[in-house]
Amino acid sequence: MAVLLLKGADPCHRRTRSPPRGAPPRHLSSCRPSLLPPSLPLQPAVVRSSSDAFRSSAGDQSSSVPQEPRTPGPVRPAMKQTLSELMRMSRICRMVFATCLGSFVLVIFYFQSLFNPAMQTNHFMVDGCCKKGSRNALQELYNPLQSDLSGAATLHQARRDQVVDACRTYSASSRKRRVLTPGDLKHLVVDEDHELIYCYVPKVACTNWKRVMMVLTSRGKYTDPMKIPSNEAHIPSNLKTLNQYSISEINHRLKNYLKFLFVREPFERLVSAYRNKFTLKYNSSFHKRFGTRIIRRYRKNATQDALVNGDDVKFKEFIEYLVDPATQKDGPLNEHWQTVYQLCHPCHIHYDMVGKYETLEDDSNYLLELVGVGNFLRFPSYAKSTRTTDIMTAQFFSNISSQQQIQVYQLYKMDFHMFNYSIPSYLRLD
């Protein structure tokens, strides 16, 4: 049957002659739109180039199914044009993404600069922290080149001599010989960058000195000591102590690093420890651990509330606890009222510098000058209004019997002698 096709009714209509009689009919695939490539069979999930994909597709078709006639000539340029358009769009997208990412990073750095002011605006910092000086700190201490440091060098030599004399006297009168173990070195904080070892003594500005050591050892993480919270300064992992090293490493550092400590009039330090740990409500851990024990031992007719909370220990009861032989049997005293002699072992460790609480800022800044960071870092000031004074200490000891005064003096006698503190005038030692 003859079929009549109107011109324009069939989108694939072409002006071609009818095929000769008996010839196979023209395949309908030749009438597909020329803008799209022929549909391809599904391929495995393997990444290949587009030309390989098309070639493998054609090969698969020829080997498994009857082959379709080839697409007309205009299809291949159209495919290439489409692929080039896709690749160009992909490059544009990558460029846009890279531009946005770069802008985002720049914005982050900008806001960091706003919220982290330059070091020269810092009260404690001038140019950055904390570069090591050109000379070793030990060289500066024992052989000062600056004339303004020579007077301080003489002072600290006298303090070192005083410690040596006290140790010699103690050694002559005592048969005890003792070798230090790593466990004795837990109070010695190490600064590798500036070759420093600091033995911290509680109630002798140790919180501020730990803050300074955190600045020195942080390599830029901290710049202002007073911006470090006090509780963070006492986290053990924030500072490395000498007992964490091997024996050979310990000996090397004890020989080559500048070692220093700060001391205080022994009874002022003792009263300061009592005021802080037993009269302030927030120190409930000390109340539970020590206060309840002290009240149970030395207070007659103690109330149940006092026995449970331990938050109203009297200074007289605290002194009784210190001089009681039973306390010595309990083990070492707590570090807040332990002697400096027992905490820092100055007869076994030769300290190059002995700073004093009475001249705290001068001694601290002198040490920072020796290290070579004096232009960058200054020791923070402390509140003098709340500190325990000699007059306040005398008031606390006024209610202590002569016998107990003698006993407590004997307990801290080495600290008095070693660091050149005279016997307080308010003590009755006759």
pLDDT tens digit sequence for 401-418: 999 999 999 999 999 999
Q: 1 in a domain, yes or no?
A: no
Range of the domain at 396: 137-418
| pLDDT of 57 | 40
User: At which of 116, 148, 168 does a domain end?
Assistant: 116
Which residue, 351, 295, 322, is CA-closest to 409? 322
Whole-angstrom Cα distance, residue 418 to residue 196?
A: 22
105 and 217 part of one domain: no
CB 351 within 8 A of CB 261: yes
| pLDDT of 385 | 63
255 and 299 part of one domain: yes
| pLDDT of 110 | 59
CA 18 to chain centre: 90
Which residue, 343, 207, 206, is CA-closest to 262? 206
Whether residue 130 is preceded by a cis peptide bond, meaning omega within 30 degrees of 0, is: yes
Q: 128 in a domain, yes or no?
A: no
Residue 364 CB coordination number (10 Å): 21
| pLDDT of 179 | 83
Whole-angstrom Cα distance, residue 388 to residue 273?
A: 9
Whole-angstrom Cα distance, residue 240 to residue 191?
A: 8
| pLDDT of 232 | 93
Q: 408 in a domain, yes or no?
A: yes
> For the chain, which ranges sit under pLDDT 70?
1-80, 82-83, 86-87, 89, 105, 107-134, 175-177, 383-385
148 and 179 part of one domain: yes
276 and 331 part of one domain: yes
Q: 67 in a domain, yes or no?
A: no
| pLDDT of 64 | 40
| pLDDT of 182 | 87
| pLDDT of 318 | 98
Q: Taking the C-alpha atoms of 40, 41, 45 and 48 in order, what is their torsion angle to the nearest 10 degrees?
A: -40
285 and 374 part of one domain: yes
Residues facing residue 258 across a β-bridge: 196
Tell me whether strands 196-199 and 258-263 are parallel, antiparallel or unpaired. parallel
98 and 236 part of one domain: no
Q: 331 in a domain, yes or no?
A: yes
CB 370 within 8 A of CB 141: yes
101 and 227 part of one domain: no
Q: 64 in a domain, yes or no?
A: no
Give how many domains the chain has, as a whole number.
2
296 and 262 part of one domain: yes
155 and 111 part of one domain: no
Q: 198 in a domain, yes or no?
A: yes
111 and 248 part of one domain: no
112 and 141 part of one domain: no
Q: 55 in a domain, yes or no?
A: no
169 and 256 part of one domain: yes
Query: Which residue's entry shows tokens 């000769």?
Result: 20
The reported pTM is: 0.69
